[in-house]
Amino acid sequence: MKELRLMKGNEAIAEGAIRAGCDAYFGYPITPQSEVMEYLMAEQPEKRTGMIVLQAESEVASINMVYGAAGTGKRVMTSSSSPGISLMQEGISYCAGAELPCLIVNVVRGGPGLGTIQPSQADYFQSTKGGGHGDYRLIVLAPASVQEMFDFVFTGFDLAFKYRNPALILSDGLIGQMMEKVHLAEQRPRLTEFDPSWTITGKTPDREHNIITSLDLDAARQEKHNQKLQAKYQKITENEVRYEELMTEDAEYLFVAYGSSARICQKAMQLAREQGIKVGLLRPITLWPFPVKPIAHLAPKMKGILSVEQSAGQMVEDVRLAVACATPVEHYGRMGGMVPSPEEVLNVLVNKFISK
Amino acid sequence: MDIKDIIKPENLVYKKTDLMTDKILSYCPGCGHGTAHRILMEVIDEMGIQSETIGIAPVGCSVLAYDFMNVDMSGAAHGRAPALATGIKRLWPDKFVFTYQGDGDLAAIGSAETIHACNRGENITIVFINNGIYGMTGGQMAPTTLEGMKTSTSPYGRDLQTMGNPLKMTELVAQLPGTWYVTRQSVHTPRNVRRAKKAIRIALEAQKEKKGLTFVEIVSNCNSGWKMTPVKANEWMEENMFPFYPLGDLKVEGKLVNNQ
Ligand SMILES: Cc1ncc(C[n+]2csc(CCOP(=O)(O)OP(=O)(O)O)c2C)c(N)n1
Ligand code: SF4
C-alpha cells in the first residue's frame, strides 16, 4: 500500500525529488517556494539516497550548477519563483541548446518586477514560448494538486531524459502553499549508468572525448542543429500532450484552465450545473506541448469558451489558435496575486456568453 | 638523409601530448593561451588522470578549448564555469575538475561564481588567464585593465575616476578560507612555463586530498588586443603587468605567503 501523507505542495516537490532518485538539487531561496530547499535540508537526503542539496549564491549559479551536473548524465534539478526563473533564462537556454535533461520548478508569484509573493499564472508566455534567447521549447507540466506536485517530479525527469530536454513544472503560489493528502510512490534508485555517447564522465580509451556545448560558429551546422531540435520538438508535440476533460460530453460552455485556476473552474462548473448551465472543463496538463487537438475537437460543440488564468490573458492566445474561430473565446483573469473566486468566474461566463 | 631517418623514436626529444588534439589552435600567433593549454594537458597526461578529468571551457578566446583539450569538457555560459564545476564536483567528488577562464569571464561577469566557489572551498582547480583585456570581443576594457591602458572602450586610457580600479582577483580569493593554493604565474619564457606547469601540478594534486579550491592565475599577453607584436607584448607585460600583478605564490597549503 502506498504511504499517505498530508503535505504542502512545495514539500511534495521536495519529497518527490528524493523519491524520484534525483541526484542533486541546487537552489536559492525565494517566496513562495522556499519550502522546497528547506524541506530537503531538513530531510538530509544525502543520508537517505545520497542526493546532494546545495544552496547556491544565486539563481544564476543554481541553473549553471544544474547545467554542469546534467552534462554528466545525472538527474538534477532546481526550483525558484518568477524573478529567480527570469534570472535563470540564459542558463535554461544553454541547457536546451546543449540538449541536457534537467528539471526546473517555477512556483509562480505575481509580477512584473518584484511584484508580489501571492499566486499568479503570468509566467505562461515565458515558460511555453522559450523564455530565454533562441528557438527552443521546454516540456511544461502544470500540476493542479499537491499530488501532482509530487507525481510530476517523476514525469518531468522521465520526459527530460526521454528527449534530452529541460522540463519545467509550472506551479503557482497557491498549489505550492496549500496542503493536501499525497500518496507517496516508492523510492526509486538514483542513476548509476550514464550514456557514454554524450555524458562527460571522463574520457576513456574506448571513445572520443565528449563535449557539452551549445556553440557552433559554423552557421550551416548551427542551422542543422536547430533543425534537429525542431524535429525533436515536433516529436514531443505528437507524443506527449497531456490534459484532463471534466463533464465535456454534454457541455455547451467550456472552461479552459490549468493549475490553481483549474481548481477554481472545477468549483465554478459545479455551481453552474446546479443552476442548469452545462459547463465542462478542459485542463491542459502539458502547457507545452499544448492540447491543441482536444480543444479544436471540442470547440465546435461549444457556445462559448472561457479561458481562465491568473494573468492578463496569456494562455488564451493558444486557446484561440486551437479554436481557430470555431466558437467565441474570452479570457478572464485576475492579476498581481489576486485569486478569483468560483462565483466570480461563473458570473463572467454568464455575462460574456449567456445573458448578453 | 631522408626526413624519415631523423624522425625515429630514439631521436625524439619532445612530443606533443596526446591530450592536445590535432585541431589547429584558433589563437593569434604568440598568444599565451596555447602554451597554457599545453601545460595543463601535459600535467593531466603525466598524472595519468585523463579518464578522471572533466574540464570547463569559458566564453572568451578560449571558448573552443574543448576542441583542443582531449578530455571530457563542457562549455559554460560567460562567467559561470565555477558553477558548472561545482555541480559536477559535488556529484563526482573523485574526479579532477578544472575550469579555464579569462579575466572578463572570471573577474567581471563571473565574479560572484568565482568568489563563492572559492569561499565554499570547492575541490576544483581554476586556471585564470589574465591578459588585462577582452580578447575575443575585440579588445575592450576588462576589470584587470591597468590604469591608463588603452582599449577599445577606454580609448584614452583607463581613467580610475570614472572606470574604476584594476581588480586583483587573485589577491582577493587568497583571503578566502576555502582556497588551499593560490598562485600567479606566466608562460612567456621557458623558465616561467616550467614554473607554471609545476603550479598546475600542485593545484591538481591537491584535489586528491580534497583540501579546497586551487587557483592558478597566468598573467598572459594579448598581442592583438594590445596592438603589439608578440615580442613587444611580452616586453610590455614584463614592464607593466608584472609590477601590478607580481608573480609568485600567494597562498600555499591554506596559508598566506608572507606579505599577502
Ligand atoms: C552573457 C554574455 N555577455 C557578453 C558576451 C560577450 N563576450 C564574449 S567573450 C567576452 C569577453 C572575454 O574576455 P576574457 O574573459 O578576458 O577572455 P579573453 O578573450 O581575453 O581570453 C565577452 C564580453 C557573452 N558571450 N555572453
Ligand atoms: S585576441 Fe588576444 S587573447 Fe585572443 S587569441 Fe588573440 S592574442 Fe590571444
Query: Domains of chain B (ranges plus CATH)?
Result: 31-256 (3.40.50.970)
Interface test with A, best of B22, B49, B62, B80 (most A CBs within 10 A): B80
CA of A350 to the centre of ligand 1 (A): 57
* Confidence check: pLDDT of B6 > 90: no
CATH of A3-198+231-235, one of 3.50.50.60, 3.40.50.150, 3.40.50.970, 3.30.70.360: 3.40.50.970
pLDDT tens-digit map of B228-244: 999 999 999 999 999 99
Q: Which residues contact A245 (CB under 8 A, 6 or more apart)?
A: A280, A281, A282, A283, A294, A298
Beta strands in chain B (DSSP E): 53-57, 72-75, 96-102, 125-130, 133-134, 140-141, 179-186, 213-219, 248-252, 255-256
Q: What pLDDT, on a 0 to 100 scale, did the predictor assign at position A110?
A: 97
Pocket lining for ligand 1, CB < 6 angstroms: B 59-62, 78, 102-105, 129, 131, 133-137, 142, 222
Confidence of residue B16 (pLDDT cuts 50, 70, 90): very high
Handedness of CA A178, A179, A184, A188 (dihedral sign): positive
* Confidence check: pLDDT of A356 > 80: no
* Confidence check: pLDDT of B4 > 90: no
* Confidence check: pLDDT of B189 > 90: yes
Contact B54 A210 (CB under 8 A): no
Angle between helices A9-19 and A146-163 (to 10 degrees): 40
Of B99, B137, B151, best ligand 1 pocket probe by most atoms within 8 Å of the beta carbon:
B137
Confidence of residue B131 (pLDDT cuts 50, 70, 90): very high
How near does any CA of chain A get to the CA of B58, in Å? 11
Mean pLDDT of all residues in chain A?
97
Confidence of residue B260 (pLDDT cuts 50, 70, 90): low
Indicate the burial class of A274 (C-beta count within 10 angstroms; 0-12, 13-18, 19 or more): exposed
Mean pLDDT of all residues in chain B?
97
Q: What pLDDT, on a 0 to 100 scale, did the predictor assign at position B258?
A: 79
Contact A24 B91 (CB under 8 A): yes
Q: Taking the domains of chain A in order of start, what are their residue ranges?
A: 3-198+231-235, 245-354
Span B203-219, mean pLDDT? 98
Measured from the CA of B61, which atom of ligand 2 is nearest? 4
Does B223 contact ligand 2 (Cβ within 6 A)?
yes
Q: What pLDDT, on a 0 to 100 scale, did the predictor assign at position B13?
A: 87
Label residue B138 left, alpha or beta by phi (over 0 means left) and psi (-120 to 50 means alpha).
left
Confidence of residue B9 (pLDDT cuts 50, 70, 90): confident
pLDDT tens-digit map of A252-280: 999 999 999 999 999 999 999 999 999 99
Contact B77 A76 (CB under 8 A): no
CB contacts of A77 in chain B (<8 Å) are none
Confidence of residue B7 (pLDDT cuts 50, 70, 90): confident
Contact A68 B85 (CB under 8 A): yes
Does B60 contact ligand 2 (Cβ within 6 A)?
no
* Confidence check: pLDDT of A46 > 70: yes
User: Does the CB of B88 have a partner CB in chain A at under 8 Å?
Assistant: yes
Confidence of residue B259 (pLDDT cuts 50, 70, 90): low
B 48-87: CB under 8 A from A: 50-54, 56-57, 63-64, 66-67, 69-77, 80, 83-87
Confidence of residue A188 (pLDDT cuts 50, 70, 90): very high
Confidence of residue A168 (pLDDT cuts 50, 70, 90): very high
Confidence of residue B8 (pLDDT cuts 50, 70, 90): confident
CB contacts of A212 in chain B (<8 Å) are 73-75
How near does any CA of chain B get to the CA of A79, in Å? 15
Of B136, B219, B226, best ligand 1 pocket probe by most atoms within 8 Å of the beta carbon:
B136
pLDDT tens-digit map of A313-347: 999 999 999 999 999 999 999 999 999 999 999 99
Of B24, B27, B134, best ligand 2 pocket probe by most atoms within 8 Å of the beta carbon:
B27
What does the DSSP 8-state code read for residue A100? -
User: For A68, which of B21, B70, B83 is closest by C-beta distance?
Assistant: B83
Is A173 in a helix, a strand, or coil? Answer: helix
CA of B161 to the centre of ligand 1 (A): 24
Strands of the sheet containing A304-308, edge to edge, are: A243-246, A279-284, A253-256, A304-308, A329-332
Q: What is the pTM of this model?
A: 0.97
Residue B255's DSSP bridge partners are B252
User: Does the CB of B95 have a partner CB in chain A at under 8 Å?
Assistant: yes
Span A23-48, mean pLDDT? 98
Contact A212 B113 (CB under 8 A): no
Span B31-54, mean pLDDT? 98
Q: Whats the size of chain A, residue-wise?
A: 356
Closest ligand to residue B29's CA: 2
Is A14 in a helix, a strand, or coil? Answer: helix
CATH of A245-354, one of 3.30.450.40, 1.20.1260.10, 3.40.50.920, 3.90.550.10: 3.40.50.920
* Confidence check: pLDDT of A1 > 70: no
